[in-house]
C-alpha cells in the first residue's frame, strides 16, 4: 500500500484524469469524487467525473453534480490517470471497470475493511469514516486551500457515511474535520435538510410497504425486510429510495443484525447487512462473496428468495450466537 504523500505526488503528475465512484452511488463516493475533481481542475488538470449508475436525485444539490458522466459514457474519453474512490473491489466499478485494462495509471483511495489493492497505487484506511475524510487530509497535505464547493462536497461525504455522526466509525477526528468545514462556511443544517428532509412522498410509501415485511427472529437479535421490484413499481419509487431503509430494521430494540433482501432482477438479490455493536458484518457478507465495513456490508446473491433468506438468516443467527449474545425477548 502507498502512503498519502505518494498518492499526492501521483495526482500532481496526471494531466488527463478521470475520477470515479461505485455502482449505486452514495454521498461519500459522489462528494469525494467532486471534491477531488474540482481541486485537480484548479491545479490545471483536465478532469472527468464518472459514475457507473445514475446520481440519485437527493444528491442534486451537490455543486457541479451535473458534470457526472453516467454509465459507460466516460469510456469514450482518453485519460492518463484513473482515480477510483470508495470502491472496494473492481466489480463495483460496473462498466467503468474496463478502464483498469487500459495502459494508464490507476489509483484507488478507499476505506472499506474488505478492500482489495487492485490498482497500481492504493491507499486504504479502514479507520476513516468516509473517503471524504481522506480527501480532506490529502488536500491539506498538498497545501491545497479548500473552496466553498469542495467543502460542501466533503461535508456531504462525511455526514452520509457516518449516519449524521451516529455510527461508531465517527471519531473525534471526524468531528474535527467536520468542524473545520463548518468553520470554513459549510451550511451544515441546510445540507442535512437537503439530504434527509426533502424525500418524495413515494419513498415514504415504499417505506410503509417495506416495513410491512419486517420480521424478527425468535431470539430477537436478527431482523430482516424485503424489497421487491413490484413494490418499487407500485409505489412509483426508485432503487435509490431503498437506501437507508435497513436502518429501521436495526433500530428495533434488542436487534443486533439487520438484513435487507432487495430484488435486483429475476433471481438476483442484493443483501444488505447492518450490525449495532458486536457482530462483524463484513465477515458475514464475505461468506456470500461480498464485504464492506464492520457495521455495514453487502453482497449480491443469485437464486430464489426463500433459499437465499434461509441461508443468510442462518448465518446471521450463527454470528449472533458466536458473540454469545443472550436471547432477547422481542415485544411481539
Ligand atoms: P449498502 O447495504 O449498499 O449500503 O452497503 C453497505 C456497505 O457494504 C457499503 O460500504 C458497500 O460498499 C458495501 N457493499 C455493498 N454491496 C457490496 C458488494 N456486493 N460487494 C462488496 N461490498 C459491498
Ligand atoms: Mn460508498
Ligand atoms: Mn464510503
User: What DSSP assignment string belongs to 59-123?
Assistant: GGGSTTGGGPEETTGGGGS--SEEEEES-SSGGGGGGGGGGGGSSSEEEEEE--TT----SSEEE
Instruction: Render pLDDT for 250-283 as a digit per residue (tens, 0 to 9).
Output: 999 999 999 999 999 999 999 999 999 999 999 9
Residue 132: per-residue pLDDT: 98
Residue 44: per-residue pLDDT: 98
C-alpha closest to that of 17 among 143, 94, 109? 109
Instruction: Render pLDDT for 38-62 as a digit per residue (tens, 0 to 9).
Output: 999 999 999 999 999 999 999 999 9
For residue 331, the CA-to-ligand 1 centroid distance in Å is 30
Instruction: Render pLDDT for 164-219 as a digit per residue (tens, 0 to 9).
Output: 999 999 999 999 999 999 999 999 999 999 999 999 999 999 999 999 999 999 99
Residue nearest to atom 2 of ligand 1 (CA): 272
Q: What whole-number percentage of the chain has pLDDT above 70?
A: 97
Torsion sign across C-alpha atoms 212, 218, 222, 228: negative
131 vs 20: CA distance, rounded Å: 12
Instruction: Render pLDDT for 284-297 as a digit per residue (tens, 0 to 9).
Output: 999 999 999 999 99
Mean pLDDT of 155-167: 97
3-state secondary structure of 252: coil
For residue 296, the CA-to-ligand 1 centroid distance in Å is 7
Residue nearest to atom 20 of ligand 1 (CA): 290
Q: Which of 291, 294, 299 is the pocket-test mutation for ligand 1 (most atoms within 8 Å of CB)?
A: 291
**Domain edges within the chain:** 4-196, 201-322
145 vs 149: CA distance, rounded Å: 12
For residue 264, the CA-to-ligand 1 centroid distance in Å is 14
Instruction: Render pLDDT for 80-116 as a digit per residue (tens, 0 to 9).
Output: 999 999 999 999 999 999 999 999 999 999 999 999 9
Please check the confidence at residue 3 and state whether its pLDDT lies above 70. yes
Q: Please name the CATH architecture into which domain 201-322 falls.
A: Roll (3.10)
For residue 65, the CA-to-ligand 1 centroid distance in Å is 22
Residue 327: per-residue pLDDT: 65
Ligand 1: list residues with CB < 6 Å: 88-89, 112, 272, 290-293, 296-300
220 vs 314: CA distance, rounded Å: 14
Residue 328: per-residue pLDDT: 65
Residue 305: per-residue pLDDT: 98
Q: Which of 86, 297, 300 is the pocket-test mutation for ligand 1 (most atoms within 8 Å of CB)?
A: 297
For residue 88, the CA-to-ligand 2 centroid distance in Å is 9
Task: Examine domains 4-196 and 201-322 and report if their fold is the same.
Answer: no
Q: What is the mean pLDDT of the chain?
A: 96
Residue 331: per-residue pLDDT: 65
CATH of 4-196, one of 3.90.1150.10, 3.90.1640.10, 1.20.1530.20, 2.30.40.10: 3.90.1640.10
Residue 294: per-residue pLDDT: 96
User: What is the pTM (predicted TM-score) of this model?
Assistant: 0.95
Instruction: Render pLDDT for 22-38 as a digit per residue (tens, 0 to 9).
Output: 999 999 999 999 999 99
Residue entry with cell 450466537: 321
Amino acid at each position: 500500500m502507498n502512503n498519502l504523500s505518494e498518492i499526492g505526488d501521483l495526482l500532481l503528475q496526471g494531466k488527463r484524469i478521470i475520477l470515479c465512484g461505485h455502482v449505486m452511488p452514495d454521498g461519500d463516493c459522489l462528494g469525494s469524487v467532486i471534491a477531488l475533481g474540482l481541486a485537480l481542475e484548479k491545479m490545471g488538470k483536465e478532469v472527468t467525473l464518472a459514475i457507473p449508475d445514475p446520481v440519485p436525485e437527493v444528491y442534486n444539490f451537490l455543486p457541479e453534480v451535473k458534470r457526472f458522466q453516467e454509465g459507460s459514457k466516460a469510456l469514450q474519453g482518453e485519460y492518463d490517470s484513473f482515480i477510483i474512490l470508495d470502491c472496494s473491489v473492481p466489480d463495483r466499478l460496473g462498466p467503468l471497470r474496463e478502464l483498469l485494462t487500459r495502459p494508464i495509471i490507476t489509483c484507488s483511495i478507499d476505506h472499506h475493511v474488505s478492500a482489495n489493492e487492485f490498482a497500481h497505487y492504493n491507499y486504504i484506511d479502514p479507520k476513516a469514516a468516509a473517503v471524504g475524510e481522506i480527501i480532506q487530509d490529502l488536500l491539506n497535505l498538498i497545501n491545497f486551500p479548500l473552496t466553498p464547493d469542495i467543502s460542501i462536497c466533503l461535508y456531504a461525504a462525511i455526514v452520509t457515511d457516518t449516519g449524521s455522526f451516529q455510527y461508531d466509525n465517527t471519531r473525534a477526528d471526524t468531528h474535527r474535520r467536520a468542524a473545520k468545514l463548518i468553520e470554513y462556511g459549510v451550511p451544515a443544517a441546510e445540507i442535512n435538510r437537503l439530504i434527509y428532509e426533502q424525500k418524495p412522498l413515494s419513498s415514504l410509501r415504499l417505506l410503509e410497504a417495506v416495513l410491512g415485511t419486517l420480521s424478527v427472529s425468535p431470539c430477537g437479535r436478527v431482523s430482516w425486510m424485503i424489497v421487491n421490484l413490484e413494490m418499487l413499481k407500485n409505489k412509483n419509487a426508485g432503487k435509490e429510495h431503498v437506501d437507508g431503509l435497513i436502518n429501521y430494521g436495526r433500530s428495533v430494540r434488542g436487534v443486533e443484525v439487520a438484513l435487507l433482501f432487495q430484488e435486483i432482477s429475476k433471481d438476483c438479490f442484493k443483501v444488505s447487512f447492518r450490525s449495532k455493536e458486536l457482530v462483524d458484518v463484513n465477515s458475514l457478507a464475505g461468506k456470500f462473496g461480498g464485504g464492506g465495513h464492520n457495521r455495514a456490508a453487502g453482497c449480491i446473491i443469485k437464486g430464489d428468495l426463500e433459499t437465499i433468506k434461509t441461508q443468510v438468516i442462518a448465518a446471521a443467527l450463527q454470528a449472533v450466537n458466536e458473540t454469545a449474545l443472550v436471547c432477547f425477548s422481542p415485544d411481539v
